Structure 1
Amino acid sequence: MSESQKQPPFLGIFFVATAGQNGSLLGSDEEEIVLLVLSILNTSSNQVVCTSPFVVQPRTADINENLLSEECKIDFKLSDDQVRTAIPLETAIEQLDEIVRQNAGDEEFTLVVDGQLPLRQCLHPEACAKEISLPAYYNSFFDLKKEFAKRYEVRLEEINEMLEHLGLNPSDEPSDSILSRVNQMTLIASKMLTDGYQFETKEIINMKLEPGICSKFEEVDSNCVVRARGLPWQSSDQDIAKFFRGLNIAKGGVALCLSLQGRRNGEALVRFESQEHRDMALKRHKHHIATRYIEVYKATGEDFINVAGGKLFLFPLKIARGLN
């Protein structure tokens, strides 16, 4: 889902890294966030207002030593002092919000991220799991990859490829890894503004599951449906939507499976707004609700209709695995 309006006065170039997989697998392993970097760009003057990095301490870190993994320290060139002064995610969110209010005031401010994963697969699920309230501006964003493709009519997946396409030399940027990626993204956004591009169509993150009725005669795209298995039996449609927080579920898009006795059996069919969101949902295979891991498989539109339309529908395990 997207929303079109005039270009906001301020863009927040936002970078997220975790203690685990990053890049195209960001958020797929449920590892906690260890780095947040925000650069605020004034779209009128095309000038950077400020750049603020935050080293984040995972809750699973050793409380006594207050250390991140050696791999994280090497990847982002973090000094021992930066690691020792790492702060909890909720504190980093609060301090970032103060920076936004100090520099953007009451004017509109919209985040720009490298793809869908930093917010949809990483920050929103972790904040939800930790019961951290996020300011409203985290519920919409510009996807730099998509905006770049609109302006230059070429889809590039890597920041270095985008820089090369624009004739910008990454070596001109500071070598400090904690800032280099957000600085490179800011270079790209600034160049796009210079070339006359308007950032106007926001990606929207739905925060509530909207009710809806699905007819048994409705056509449902099989590329938008997953099956979730291993759910706590008491799980409601809202609990399932919370598990998939950050991804947009279609109206009435959660259908709970029932046993022959009419009881919930720990399975559900979930229909997303697009294949892009379905594909991100599949990467949450074996993510957790409390101590239970949830299996997520591909399903079909017919499967969804059979359940949402009122038919009892049981999934033999061999069939479910065959759909993945």
Structure 2
Amino acid sequence: MALFSTTGLAATTAYVKTTEQLDLKHLRLIIVTPPASQDTLRHRVMTHFSRAGLPLPESDSSQKQSPAVLTLTLSPKPVELTCPGKVLYAPSLVLTELVTSQRTGVTYQDTTWVLSTQPEVLDAVTAQHIEEDLDRLITQFIADYNTANRSERSREQHSAPIVDSSQPLSLPPDSASSDQNHRLGDLRTVRLSVLAGPWSSALKNAAARQLGAAGIRPLSDLTESSGVDLSLELIQHPLGDHCPGYVLYERGLYLVEEVQVSRRPQVRFWSDAWLQESLQIVPPRSRQELEADQTELLRTLLSSHQWK
């Protein structure tokens, strides 16, 4: 899924509709952060929900199987081998729940709401910095939820709840699997895009040839719709004085199509049916190296498509 990035608090995000009628009573909260900070940050999240008058998310230690999971990542990663004394920091908040592909009818667990900021290489991340990011992310999620559910919350004060919390959605048997191959279906055409700096056009032509040889036709006109977008991202961010001689390299392949939220089929949005991505600190990559990375990403996708 394309991330909605922001440095400030918006009234709502692009994903506001996906929180409509989300049952917070069955929302499980996972916080990815150093163990010493877990309890403090969890209490801070719960305080936000409590002050907003919302049900508190379940603990990650809960033994219940939850169809909706909210993952808060506030975990600076040391990068001593490439940037001594620095950390890589990419705060994010992601909601995952059951979605159903419009094209294949397959139901699986996927991202339905996300807020993140551009990954950064920093000298250090203080406790105050982390708490401010937590406040920003959780406040935005609550703002979206309240906006999407304003009329429902008003009616709940005078009638029975819309969602029967005793009957949560059941996870499909394979939803916990990392295998994405069953989501691919029959791929015949894709709308192709490549982001690779000054080599985007050349790499797009190479990708089109590789897909064509495998029997998948890339649409030449981006105004056409195949129902499936294939995006390749090979993006290098200079690190300057933070890490001389290195770049932050985002490498990813995203097969994007329209899905519907399984608990609320009226809500539809575009999401990743298949993806492979990585984030590395490396010396600047040449065109040949980027093309080799692209070839490898496409080969993995095509092998999965043939295997399914």
TM-score range, shorter chain: under 0.3
Please give the TM-score of this superposition, normalised by the length of structure 1: 0.23
Q: Relative to total residues, which structure has the larger strand share, 1 or 2? A: 2
